[in-house]
Amino acid sequence: MKKYIFITTVLALLIGISSCIDEIKLNVDTEQRSLVVDGFVTDSLGDFQLKLSQSSVIGIGNDNILDPIPNATVALMDTDGETYPYVESIESPGIYELFNFKAERGKSYFVDIVLPDGKHYQSTPAELRSSSKIDNISYDVNEETFRDNAGELVTENIISAKIATDFSDAAVPPFLRWRVSGQYQVQENFPMALNPKRCYVSVNLDINDIRIFDATQVNGNELFEQVIAEAAYDFRFGEQFCFHVSQFSISEEEYNYWRNIKEIIDIDGSLFDPPPGTVVGNIRNVDDPDDVAVGYFSVASIFFRRYFVNRDETRVSVRSKCEGFFLRVPFACDDCLLLNNSTTVKPDYWEF
């Protein structure tokens, strides 16, 4: 499959050599909405969320504003007959919460959803797979030239976080999925600063960036230099940066789900694109097999690691956000809490 995507990309790029790309209007005149389920549980003790919404209609406003579905009855069940009910969040309708839960190895779990209109959905039971460790995390910084969304060529320094792992002790080669977020430090700096604050800012690094791996397809039982996240190497790396890496051991079915999602969001207009299709998740109407919800309910084991990148460790030097002399104080350099997802509370794991 991976090969196929690769070929598609190659051909698309070949075509792209002399191509021109612009936006057009295509009359899509139907309204077809589906139930969207988005949630997961892991073997790490904690609180888990599940979101229920209706898919949005293309071309009407911002597609991101989802229509939440409140007042549903949601429960996690295991195949031993145990039920763990979700509770709907009071401040965010359509979000259901499961508190203080930990999935156990060897058990299979599924979610059971009854909508306010009585429609009854369930996910396919999935057994929790054993987790895979991460042996080592590394990174490198390279100058890369690529096309941005406007089709312009841009050159940027890109940092790639890579992992190495050895799954020789795994009973079966795992299917892996990574989610990576980041956190960086901002030291306030402005003239006449009496008591400059330091903020810790969380950033998303993997929006629409699906990182998955099928260990059955590789030679040997070692994985090295596997890129799990890429980000612009910019001011965020000017002080200290922390990668938060979650490695999920997922089922083959879930692997195929993300692979298909990746395939459709990677479609880029090559004539050799495979015909797009709707990705089928693991949630179905119990009473009507043709009524398929979209989205996925995941049961996975997790391995979590943090990795710090300190300033001047790399050969490419960057300035931090508020460093240097300036006439006008850069945004947030006099109040770093103005940045999104910013806090002055130093995380206990922070190294500096």
- What residue type is 204 in one-letter code? N
Which segment (106-114, 220-228, 232-240, 308-316) binds other proteins by CB under 8 A?
220-228
Q: How far is the CB of 134 from other proteins (least distance, A)?
A: 17
From the list 104, 225, 287, 313, which residue makes contact with other proteins (rule: CB under 8 A)? 225
From the list 21, 87, 286, 337, which residue makes contact with other proteins (rule: CB under 8 A)? 21
Q: Give the containing element (helix H, strand E) for 263.
A: helix 252-265
What six digits make up the tokens of 223?
């994985």
From the list 81, 118, 191, 275, which residue makes contact with other proteins (rule: CB under 8 A)? 275
CA 121 – CA 297 distance, rounded (Å):
12
The interface with other proteins within residues 290-349 (CB under 8 A) comprises 294-296, 298
The interface with other proteins within residues 82-141 (CB under 8 A) comprises none
C-beta of residue 140 within 8 angstroms of C-beta of residue 159: yes
Between 4 and 326, name the residue whose CB sits nearer to other proteins.
Answer: 4
The answer to whether 289 contacts other proteins (rule: CB under 8 A) is: no
Q: How far is the CB of 167 from other proteins (least distance, A)?
A: 13
Between 2 and 133, name the residue whose CB sits nearer to other proteins.
Answer: 2
Q: Give the containing element (helix H, strand E) for 13.
A: helix 2-16
From the list 231, 279, 283, 336, which residue makes contact with other proteins (rule: CB under 8 A)? 279
Q: How far is the CB of 257 from other proteins (least distance, A)?
A: 8
Q: Roughly what angle, to the nearest 10 degrees, separates helices 252-265 and 2-16?
A: 10
The answer to whether 26 contacts other proteins (rule: CB under 8 A) is: yes
Return the C-alpha torsion angle 274, 278, 279, 284, nearest 10: -150
The answer to whether 204 contacts other proteins (rule: CB under 8 A) is: yes
DSSP state of 76: E
CB count within 10 Å of CB 183 equals: 21
Instruction: Give one DSSP letter per residue of 113-125, joined into a string.
Output: EE-TT--EEEEPP
The answer to whether 273 contacts other proteins (rule: CB under 8 A) is: yes
The interface with other proteins within residues 241-260 (CB under 8 A) comprises 259-260
Which segment (80-88, 115-123, 131-139, 204-212) binds other proteins by CB under 8 A?
204-212
- What residue type is 256 in one-letter code? N
From the list 217, 225, 196, the residue with the least C-alpha distance to 335 is 196
CA 84 – CA 97 distance, rounded (Å):
10
Which segment (117-125, 166-174, 203-211, 334-342) binds other proteins by CB under 8 A?
203-211
